[in-house]
Amino acid sequence: MDDPTDVKLNFAVQRKSKYWIHLLLFAVTFITTTIAGMEWTTGSMGPYEFDSLAKGLPYSLSILFILGTHEFGHYFAAMYHRVKATLPFFIPFPPIPGFFNFGTMGAVIKTQSPIRNNKAMFDIGVWGPISGFIACLIVLIYGFTHLPGVDYILSIHPDYFSPQYGKGGVNLIFGNTILFDFLKKTFTNPNQFVPPMSEIYHYPYLCVGWFGLFVTAMNMIPVGQLDGGHIVYSMFNKKTHEIIASISMVALVVLGVTGILDSVRELNLNIGWSGWLFWAVILYFVIRVKHPPVYEFAKLDKKRMLLGYFALLILVLSFSPTPFIITL
C-alpha cells in the first residue's frame, strides 16, 4: 500500500508540472502575439529587432487581456459550481510568411468533472463570452478615445492620401459590425481622422477589439458545445437547441458558399466569407451539432434567462457576415 505522504507529494508534483504547461503556453503566445502585433501595426514582416517588437506590446497585452478575461469567466463560474476545471491553455500561432494571423488561435479551459445540471452548464457557458465582451468594450472604447493623429498613418503609409494609394496591390478590409460601428460613431468626432475598415489593423486597440468581437461571435454560434450551444441548450431544451443549431449551420454554409462564389466569379458583392464554410465543417465533424445531455434539466430562473438573451444579443452585435474582404 502506498504511503499517504508519498501520494500527496506525487499529486503536488503533478499539479506543479501542469502549471508549467500553462505558463509556457502563455509565454509562447505572448511572443507570437507580440510579433503579430508588430506586423499588423507597422506592416513590417521582419527581420525582428527588440525595439521594433516593443511596438507589438499594445496589441499582445490587449489580446491576452481579452482572451484571459473570457476564459477566467468560464473558470470562476466552474469553481462556483464546484466543477473541476483547468486554468486557461493559451494557444500560440507562429508567424508564417504569406499567411496573415493574429498570433494566437485563442485560449481554452478543460472541465475535469461532469457538469450535472443545465443551471451550472448555463453559468459556465455564459460568463465566458460576457466577460470577454466587457473586455472588448474596454479595449475598443480606449482605442477610439485615444486615436493618434493623421501623422500616425502617414508614418506607415507616406502615400496614404495619394490617388494611387492601394492600387495594384492586395487590400485587406475588416468587416464592420453593429457594435464596432456604434462605438466608432459614439466616441469619435467628424474633426478627427478615423481610420477606415481597410486600415484599422494598424491601430492595435481597434484591431484587437475587432478580433475579440470576431472570436466572441464565433463562440456564440448556438451549435454543439460552443458557448452559444451551452447557453441555448440550457435555456430551452434539447429539441429547441437542435432546431436552432441546424438553422445556424445552414446559415454558415450559405454564407461560406456565397463568399466562395463571390470570390471565384469576381462578383464584388462582398457578401459571405469562405471561412464560414470551413468553420461549419469543423463544427459538424469535430465539435458536433448536437449538445450532449446533462443529468438534471430544469427551467432556468428569470435572471438567467435575461442574461442568456443578453448573450445572444452579443452575438448579433458582434457578428459580421463578411469579416474579411480581400480586394486587388
Segment 33-51, tens digit of pLDDT? 999 999 888 877 767 777 7
Phi, psi for residue 55 in degrees, rounded to 5: -70, -15
Range 250-271 average pLDDT: 87
Q: Rounded mean pLDDT of 181-209?
A: 95
pLDDT of the residue at 27: 97
The stretch 225-238 carries a mean pLDDT of 96
DSSP run (H or E) holding 8? helix 4-42
| pLDDT of the residue at 81 | 96
| Closest CA relative to residue 259, chosen from 282, 283, 276, 284 | 276
Contacts with 111 (C-beta within 8 Å, 6 or more apart), sequence order: 78, 83, 84, 85, 124
pLDDT of amino acid 15: 53
Task: Give the Cα separation of 101 and 94 in Å (integer).
Answer: 8
Which neighbouring-strand residues pair with 46? none
pLDDT band at 19 (very low <50, low <70, confident <90, very high): confident
Residue 247 has pLDDT above 50, yes or no: yes
Residue 125: exposure state from Cβ atoms within 10 A (0-12, 13-18, ≥19): buried
3-state secondary structure 50-106: HHHHHHHHHHHHHHHHHHHHHHHHHHHHHHHCCCCECCCEEEECCCECCECCCCEEE
Residue ranges of domains in the chain: 65-81+116-327
Q: How many helices (H) and strands (E) does the chain have?
A: 11, 4
Closest CA to 318 of 237, 236, 246, 215: 215
* Single-letter amino acid, residue 123: D
Over residues 262-266, the mean pLDDT reads 78
pLDDT at 279 over 90: yes
Q: Is the pLDDT of residue 170 over 50?
A: yes
- Specify the higher pLDDT residue, 28 or 267: 28
Task: Categorize the per-residue pLDDT at 94 as very low, low, confident or very high, splitting at 50, 70 and 90.
Answer: confident
Mean pLDDT of 152-160: 91
pLDDT of residue 7: 36
Range with lowest mean pLDDT among 116-120, 159-163, 212-216: 159-163
Average pLDDT over residues 86-109: 86
Share of the chain above pLDDT 90, in %: 75
